[in-house]
A and B are shown apart, each in its own frame.
Chain A
Amino acid sequence: MSAVNDSVVVAKRNVRRMTRIPEVLVFGLIQPVMFVLLFTYVMGGAITVPGATSDPDAYKQYLIAGIFAQTVTFAVAGASAGISEDMTKGLVDRFRSLPMARGAVLTGRTLADSVQTALILVVLTVVSLLIGWRTHNDLWKVFCGFLLLLLLGYAFSWIGALIGLSVRSPEAATSAGLVWLFPLTFISNAFVPVATMPGWLQPVAYWNPFSATVQAVRQLFGNVPPGMVQTAWPMKHAIPVSIAWSVLIIVVFRALAVSKYRRSDG
């Protein structure tokens, strides 16, 4: 019980910090909004989505789930920088000297990151709706799509927590948190159809944990182009695969991060 209480107390602290440093949230928003606009208006014209009609609007419908998914993975950077900062400041000694649950500092952080991710998704949804993106499915399925995105974001913030515990400075944590996200999110079905990639790269993209969530969310949003045929196994079972990947990431990285937190005693 105290583990839940402590995590909530720490999460509350991190959410409060968020409201005191709104710049972090603002800059967290600029990047995905910029991506939505750039991909839609700059790249969009040059990318044809197989199975879609020649409607110039088609790429936009295809793209949004990918951008949403990419955005939630950026929770990594927030978590890694935040945890790293906590570890380098004296505050972590305060936490360690209190009779509190050991994992609560990390769990609290990842929960607060989910709140931030949810806020960013709300803004991003509004922007996307403004430029003409629409869902084509039952509202509860759309909602489930957002839940899958939050789950992926939560999983990735545990990766961020481990990175934050592993590097020496918050600055390094930010870059270490971000640098691998670009190949991960680009070698996927998020921005272009995997079928257009070289043959050797396609399996990588299909089995990318990130791709499963993109495909699952696209399905739940009703944004899969009607004529697009998926033959790869993870794409055909995108929803369970997405959940499985996220849960697996949480289990593995949570265990690694908590044990590292316990051992990192200077």
Chain B
Amino acid sequence: MSEAAISAEGLVRTFGDVRALDGVDLDVPEGTVLGLLGPNGAGKTTTVRVLTTLLRPDAGRASVAGVDVLKHPDKVRSLIGLSGQYAAVDEYLTGRENLQMVGELYQMSARAAKARADELLEQFGLADAAGRIAKTYSGGMRRRLDLAAALVVRPPVMFLDEPTTGLDPRNRMALWVVIEQLVAAGTTLLLTTQYLEEADRLAHDIAVVDRGRVIARGTADQLKAQIGGERVEVVVTDSAALPLAVEALTPYAIGEPTVEPHTRKITVPVTGGARVLADVIRELDAREVLIHDIGLRRPTLDDVFLSLTGHVTESETDEDDEDGDAESPDGESAAGRRAGRKKARV
């Protein structure tokens, strides 16, 4: 095992009554990518802000590239690159001026900063737009400029906070390619994202964050394995039929069914493939439950995420619930909360 390039222990940070971080532990081995996955308000950005010296935690310890974040923030700042959720570029400066300014603030000479700016503009496909003010850039161009700004001094450790949020698919892909190049060059990366697809593609390791805590940790495959294999998804026509449908599904479930009343959807983990699907349809039919839609699905990280955050929601009081194995007494309330969170996200 290589040494941890980023490590955090028991980070706590409250804003008024809200515990944004409730004991976050992390470690990212040198040269790897950790994806911090979670919904809005989970504590991803707060974690990044603490690790990049923008915010002091109320408790806990953190180090980046072996340097204590709380004791030597200035030293840390010279070792990291940060590209935030909102493109942190000056709209009224040109692309080149933006990068040159950042270089000069890293104490580079004006000439060296300009040379580095041109190099980065070339690398990020912004050479043609170098002399235009950033206000005229598209969203994707601004993100690339912002990422370039984070790379001015080729920092060994990078933090990317939702780098592709709000980008169209084409620009997202383009940014992924850039990030993959960075990682190939040996940069240690901590990446936050709401997109499971993004974490799946870019990260070696994924930490799922919810309500200020890391609730699961592993590779994408490990996390998928953790919630079992296939699942049957049923959407009933009438939400009044949900309890009946759950009853019909329970004998086939190898885990707790999740119910989303809003979408009238029930999801149960199963084994046995298409045969189970046929059985389930028969059971539902026998109970005269009208089916709007039904299908067999392989797990995605989405499932991992919903399953994990659901558990935490239900067993908050249970301190030992780290591995998501705790009993889930009330599927409906979990689903309700989840629906509420989805709403909040919009």
Residues of A whose CB lies within 8 Å of any CB of B are 2, 5-6, 9-10, 12-13, 16-17, 20-21, 89-100, 104, 265-266
Contact = CB atoms under 8 A, between A and B. Distances in A.
Given A98-B105, A99-B107, A16 B49 contact: no
Given A96-B53, A97-B54, A266-B55, A16 B97 contact: yes
A100 B88 CA distance: 16
Contacts of B97: 13, 16
A197 to B, nearest CB: 44
Contacts of A266: 49, 54-55
Given A16-B93, A265-B54, A265-B56, 16 more contacts: A9-B105, A13-B90, A17-B90, A17-B93, A90-B84, A90-B85, A91-B88, A93-B49, A93-B84, A96-B53, A97-B52, A97-B53, A97-B77, A98-B102, A99-B107, A104-B105
B162 to A, nearest CB: 12
Nearest to B159: A97
Interface in B223-273: none
Which of B53, B82, B104 is most buried by chain A, counting CB atoms within 10 A of its CB?
Answer: B104
Given A2-B107, A97-B54, A20 B133 contact: yes
A20 B93 CA distance: 8
A246 to B, nearest CB: 29
Contacts of A99: 74-75, 77-78, 105-107
Nearest to B20: A266
B54 A95 contact: no
Nearest to B90: A91
Q: Which 5 A-B pairs have the closest CB atoms?
A: A90-B86, A94-B88, A90-B88, A99-B77, A99-B78
A117 B83 CA distance: 35
24 contacts: A5-B107, A9-B101, A9-B104, A12-B101, A13-B90, A17-B90, A17-B92, A20-B133, A21-B92, A90-B85, A93-B49, A93-B54, A94-B82, A94-B102, A94-B149, A97-B82, A99-B74, A99-B75, A99-B77, A99-B105, A99-B106, A265-B49, A265-B55, A266-B49
State the main secondary structure of chain B at its contact with A.
Answer: loop
State the main secondary structure of chain A at its contact with B.
Answer: helix
Nearest to B76: A99
A188 B53 CA distance: 46
Nearest to B149: A94
Nearest to B82: A97
A230 to B, nearest CB: 46
A9 B80 CA distance: 21
B220 interface: no
Given A5-B107, A96-B53, A97-B54, A13 B86 contact: no
A98 B103 CA distance: 10
Contact of B105 (A6, A17, A20, A89): A6
A1 to B, nearest CB: 9
